A = this chain, B = another copy of it.
Amino acid sequence: MKASLNHPSNNSYRNGVEILSIGTELLLGNIVNTNAQWISQQLSLLGLNHFRQSTVGDNSERIGSLVQEISTRSNLLITTGGLGPTPDDLTTEAIAKSFNFSLYERKYLWEQIKQKLSNSKLKDSSSLRKQCFFPKDAQIINNPRGTAPGMIWEPIKGFTILTFPGVPSELKEMWKETAFEFIQNKFSNGFVFFSNTLKFSGIGESTISEKIDNLLKLRNPTVAPYANLGEVKLRITAKAKNASEAKNIIKPVKEKLTEEFSKFIFGENDDNLPSVLIKELKKRKETLVFAESCTGGLLSSSITSISGSSKVFKGSIIAYSNALKKSLLNISEDQLKRYGAVSEEVAEAMSINAKEKMSADWAISISGIAGPNGGSQEKPVGLVYISIAGPTNHITNIKKIFNSTRNRMEIQTLSVNVCLNSLRLILLSNST
């Protein structure tokens, strides 16, 4: 890399793709750079080597200097940001200037912009008009969701730049409509990367990793674990000539994992616990209700975030106060006094009564201490009782004590995960 920097004329060192994110708001930390992540994923899909990313502010000189630097070592540069109408949108101008090229107006773009905007917004036309100026031999990337087009430009032989706006939705549309195919045709060396993600619940990342030590060392496909709160993913990625060949490479590894972890795997790719549960209950034509205390609506919300949940989910009673546990869920004063609201007995009564009162096939109840206050030696923060009542009046009771270092939101989220995964396992074990 250093060698090529000292000999900018030496083309043979140019190799690989870089991403350049442009925007002072990134340097100030006002926004997180989700564009760089999204483009990285796209480049992975395209099987392209991508060694480096940079971020720079809205400063013409620094943009130009950095693009010059990149042009000495890489053959493809993707930029985001700085294509809009405001004075600090400098990207096209700065890049062209650094290669000593001028910008020329494309009249038809101005006609397009005028069609896209209402008259009131067109008042300030001089700044909008800026978006129609490009180097003479640049190819335009149409922007179906906004007014700022991008460009595909090869200012010097062997170095191509693609520019996109910083607005994520515009970038994505433009990428799909124009850039993906262009890059695939011109830069992919005949390989694609294809991924299949398996999703786990009820098992930790370290336990999985230990058991598949050998798979984690594979080169093609690669197997990589990622952990979220209460969920582990294994991404299997194959490099191949095409998607169907990649799927064949992935298949045996996927089968081995499915065999080894069977019931811990709840789904793949875009599946999540609520969507998997809803699908299964729909198939069984069974309904679901909740009686929530410590999760305070988060369990219900996780289910109703899924479109189509109304087919199986009837509703919930969120009995946050003891008064409502009594009046809405028929928990007796005696039960509350004898066992306390956070107890196996009360949780069980909550699930039985919720199922009855809301006439559902399944009811999940949950009562616990989400913290940070309200814990005691006997009943610490993180203690949670879950009860699941089913169609045959079979009751499953679960006690969990989450680590004391967990904060309120984590305890609520992990509790929701245990509720959903426990019901999933029960459905799995009594499916025919």
A41 / chain B contacts, CB cutoff of 8 Å: 28-29
A218 to chain B, nearest CB (A): 15
A407 to chain B, nearest CB (A): 9
**Which A413-428 residues have a C-beta within 8 angstroms of B?**
none
A51 within 8 A of B: yes
A372 within 8 A of B: yes
A127 to chain B, nearest CB (A): 13
B307 touches A372 (CB 8 A): yes
A297 in complex: contacting residue of B6, B29, B37, B298, CB < 8 Å: B298
A298 in complex: contacting residue of B5, B304, B372, B408, CB < 8 Å: B304
A1 within 8 A of B: yes
B359 touches A323 (CB 8 A): yes
Q: Which residue of chain B is the closest to A314 with respect to CB atoms?
A: B321
- In whole angstroms, how far apart are the Cα atoms of A59 and B408 in the complex? 38
A359 / chain B contacts, CB cutoff of 8 Å: 323, 327
A318 touches B316 (CB 8 A): yes
A36 within 8 A of B: yes
A296 touches B301 (CB 8 A): yes
A302 to chain B, nearest CB (A): 8
A89 to chain B, nearest CB (A): 15
**Which A323-345 residues have a C-beta within 8 angstroms of B?**
323-324, 327-328
Contact digits for A242-256, partner B, Cβ 8 Å, 1 yes 0 no = 000000000000000
**Which A241-293 residues have a C-beta within 8 angstroms of B?**
290, 292
- In whole angstroms, how far apart are the Cα atoms of A29 and B309 in the complex? 31
Q: Which residue of chain B is the closest to A372 with respect to CB atoms?
A: B307
A65 touches B301 (CB 8 A): no
A54 within 8 A of B: yes
A371 within 8 A of B: yes
Contact digits for A298-320, partner B, Cβ 8 Å, 1 yes 0 no = 11111111011110011111111
A177 within 8 A of B: no
A56 touches B51 (CB 8 A): yes
A283 to chain B, nearest CB (A): 19
A146 within 8 A of B: no
A156 / chain B contacts, CB cutoff of 8 Å: none
- In whole angstroms, how far apart are the Cα atoms of A30 and B300 in the complex? 29
A317 / chain B contacts, CB cutoff of 8 Å: 315-318, 328
- In whole angstroms, how far apart are the Cα atoms of A62 and B53 in the complex? 12
Q: Which residue of chain B is the closest to A39 with respect to CB atoms?
A: B29
Known: A30-B235, A55-B36. A297 touches B316 (CB 8 A): yes
